[in-house]
């Protein structure tokens, strides 16, 4: 079911999810949202060293639950990735 944006924004949460070089994913705790009325966006990402093939370094974001944002990538052992995100909850 599509999100009804006509009622306006209820909350916006922003943060950074850090995926360690040895991991392929991380979950970050956020304040509770209604997942049926929320969306997560990636604002950008950076690596802090190392050479990573592009297909293993680019992260994806998802709402893992009402209180968690998940960040995932396909490869580990390449570099630590900092992913900035924004969660918007609508009325």
What's the pTM value of the predicted model, to 2 decimals?
A: 0.86
Confidence of residue 60 (pLDDT cuts 50, 70, 90): very high
Please say whether the beta carbons of 56 and 74 come within 8 A.
yes
Instruction: Give the bridge partners for 90, in sequence order.
Output: 9
| Residue 52 pLDDT > 70 | no
Please say whether the beta carbons of 36 and 4 come within 8 A.
no
Q: What is the mean pLDDT of residues 46-65?
A: 77
Give the percent of the chain with pLDDT over 70.
86
Average pLDDT across the chain, whole number: 88
For the stretch 14-46, what's the b/e string if a residue is b when 16 or more beta carbons lie within 10 angstroms of its beta carbon?
Answer: eeebebebeebbbebebeebeeebbebeeeebe
């Amino acid at each position: 079911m599509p999100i009804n944006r006509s009622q306006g924004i209820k909350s916006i949460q922003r943060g950074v999810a850090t995926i360690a070089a040895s991991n392929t994913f991380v979950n970050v705790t956020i304040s509770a949202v209604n997942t049926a009325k929320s969306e997560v966006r990636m604002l950008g990402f950076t690596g802090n060293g190392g050479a990573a093939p592009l297909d293993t370094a680019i992260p994806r974001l998802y709402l893992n639950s009402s209180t968690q944002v998940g960040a995932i990538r396909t490869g580990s052992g390449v570099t630590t990735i900092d992913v900035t995100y924004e969660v918007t909850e609508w009325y």
